[in-house]
Amino acid sequence: MYLTARYTPQHLSLNTTRRPHIGSELPCPYSPHARAPAPRAPIASDMEKSKVLVVGGTGYIGRRMVRASLAQGHRTFVLTRLEKVGMDIDKLQLLLSFKAQGAVLVEASMDDHRSLVAAVKQVDVVVSAMGGPHLLQQLKLVEAIKEAGNVQRFLPSEFGMDPARMGHALAPGRVTFDDKMVIRKAIEEANIPHTYVSANCFAAYFAANLSQIGTLLPPKEKVHVYGDGNAKVIFVDEDDAATYVIKSIDDPRSLNKTIYIRPPENILSQNELIAKWEKLSGKVLEKIPIPSDEFLASMEGADHTYQIVVGHVYHIFYEGCLTNFEIADDEEASLLYPEVQYTLMDKYMERYL
């Protein structure tokens, strides 16, 4: 999940060595090791790698999905909407770099149903990384997958908070969750095999800036603390998220389930995150606590984007919505794939020194 918003003085200011999964106890209500480790996933020698189509492959998360798919040996296709490239030289060069790495560029348009059907007929798995404003366009993708009839797994664009748990979300930010649930309903009504992924808070937007609104850089002197700063939050390196996603696509254990990415050592309170940065930088920051009522009041008269950000941040840092439940019938990525050496947040933040 990633969020941005403008910064004004009266508002609050939001934006690794890798090591393997290590079991550790965490305070209630979340204990990721309450269940036995999942059975071993099939490995490359067990089955043929699926062919993967990435939709939204030039975006911030999509490009990581493409790279992870290629890195894990999948025949990788990237949906290319040439009408969207235009004179965007960076996007064009990115697509050409994918091609040079072995990806197949498939030209299709969300406004051309036949081209979408033709594209999905070439693959086994479709991974969507379409951005928030375009979420509902995935309904066209669902229709194409339904008609093609060959897709063995569809992963819609989610990768943040689990929308199924956000029915109580504040407006206007709840529209994101509502749209994602519309897509889920369409997928399930069409009986399309699927996997949903909750990747929680992307590190570049929430960790490096110590979760401050309106900046992507660590604060130099003062840091706003949400409430008492003790709500547990899950921070995930974006490349790690893509690695987990691609590992799940051929795994029968993730079929028709939600995969939660909860690297145990990256489940931190804001206070713990701040302490890590202070240790790295050697500088103690002034902490400015923001009571929940004051935080919510900052929405009044603010622009639409800022109101969305405030709502999401409220649910994460005041309610603790990422960790205030236990995983029941779904799966947790670091337990499914303990071989992934995920990025620790203190190591992630070293690059900002």
Q: What are the residue numbers of the active site? A: 180
74 contacts 126 by C-beta, under 8 angstroms: no
> How many CB atoms are located within 10 Å of the residue 70 CB?
19
Q: Which of 6, 16, 107, 15 is nearest to 57 (CA)?
A: 107
Structure tokens that stand for 288 in this block:
């400015």
Please give the Cα distance from 168 to 174 (Å, whole number).
Answer: 8
Residue 331's alpha-carbon distances to 34, 48, 184, 188, in angstroms, are 12, 23, 18, 19
Instruction: Please tell me the distance from the alpha carbon of residue 184 to that of residue 144, in angstroms, as a whole number.
Output: 15
Q: What are phi and psi of 232, to 5 degrees?
A: -80, 135
DSSP secondary structure string, 186-212? HHHHTT--BEEEE--EEHHHHTTTTT-
Per-position b or e across 177-203, b if 16+ CB within 10 A of its CB: bbbbeebbebbeeeebebbbbbbbbbb
Show Cβ contacts of residue 104 under 8 Å, excluding neighbours closer than 6 positions: 75, 76, 77, 78, 122
CA distance 249 to 259: 11
